[in-house]
Amino acid sequence: MDLAPGLAALRPLGGFFVLRTGAPPHGRLPTLAQVYAQPAAGPHDSRPLDARVRAVARGIRAPEPRVAASVAHQALAARLWSAALGCAALYGRIPDLDPRLLHWDPAAQAPEDLWLTEVRARPADASTVADVVLHGHLEPLAAALRARHRLAPGLLRGNAASALASTGRLLAAWARDHGRPEAAGRARELTARLLTHPLLHGAGTLTGTGFRRRSCCLYYRVPGGGLCGDCCFARPPGSSSQAVSGRPGRRPGRARRAFPARYVLPARGGAGAVRPAGASVVRAPAAGRRAMRPFPSSPRMDGGIRSVLSAVVRDNVISALKQT
């Protein structure tokens, strides 16, 4: 199937997958090529990448800039994987996401944050997708962030792999639920192949549709945060059997996760929901009992689509950025 000029097939997936095409309507925006090439700036510089990290830091009350930088990195990685894998699964082709063609608004929310000025079709094989997303974006993005913040290469590699696995899992689930088994198969196969790429190899383990990374995105350092669903840790680093996560009174061995081990689907509007990685769906508790749910999520994001971010940290970032 040829790519539609407006990439209309992505719209049913929800805002996080949608990629706007044409010129940005609200004035000039920098291209991602320009963003990646900008040198590190001072703490109050208005350059897009630095501004985004500061906005994330304010929104999640990050205790240090590198925590916000890691979260911002994973959110943008998930956004890029979503557009590429969504087109690959539904069209069998991907748009050329050349950083010189992709404009970015660091203050906007999906899908108004990315604008592709020209739709040029490319093959949807794993090698091409890796060239477009990994080499074209995530390598220079990681280099730009590492020039500004103390971020280990393994952490950024884990972020990229986690975002990819989450995107592929959600996309396959959506395609299966909407009678598109061929698209679901393409999403699963492409995700598995991409995770073996040298730039991602060893970042985590894919078992069926579940993924467990071998690094940590640092979200546990955020006040009130916890471990993401695919985190390598069993409990937050520095915790003890007496005080997990530095908070007294918690039961030994019960680390707080951003997604609880049990996930209660909402009673209403849950038809399209996709459960988080590693979570089992259980019935809602009896009246008077409190249900276990993820942290508050963005009301403007589709219920199932918000799971593309895998861990609630990415969902919280989108919500936080809306308030800045």
Q: What is the rounded average pLDDT of the residues 214-228?
A: 86
User: Is residue 207 very low, low, confident or very high in pLDDT (cuts 50, 70, 90)?
Assistant: confident
Residue-wise pLDDT for 126-180, tens only, equals 999 999 999 999 999 999 999 999 999 999 999 999 999 999 999 999 999 999 9
The CA-based angle 163-168-30, given to 5 degrees, is 50
Q: Is the pLDDT of residue 68 over 60?
A: yes
The pLDDT value recorded for residue 43 is: 60
Q: Which residues contact 179 (CB under 8 A, 6 or more apart)?
A: none
Contact 255, 239 (CB under 8 A): yes
Spatial distance between the Cα atoms of 14 and 98, rounded to a whole number of angstroms: 23
Least reliable range by pLDDT among 39-48, 101-110, 182-191, 213-222: 39-48
The pLDDT value recorded for residue 310 is: 36
DSSP assignment of 240-263:
-SSSGGG-TTPPTT---BSS-SEE
Query: Domain boundaries in the chain?
Result: 8-322
Q: Which residues contact 293 (CB under 8 A, 6 or more apart)?
A: 260, 263, 264
Share the mean pLDDT of the chain: 75
Q: Which of 154, 312, 133 is nearest to 230 (CA)?
A: 312
Q: What is the rounded average pLDDT of the residues 14-36?
A: 90
The CA-based angle 181-207-280, given to 5 degrees, is 80
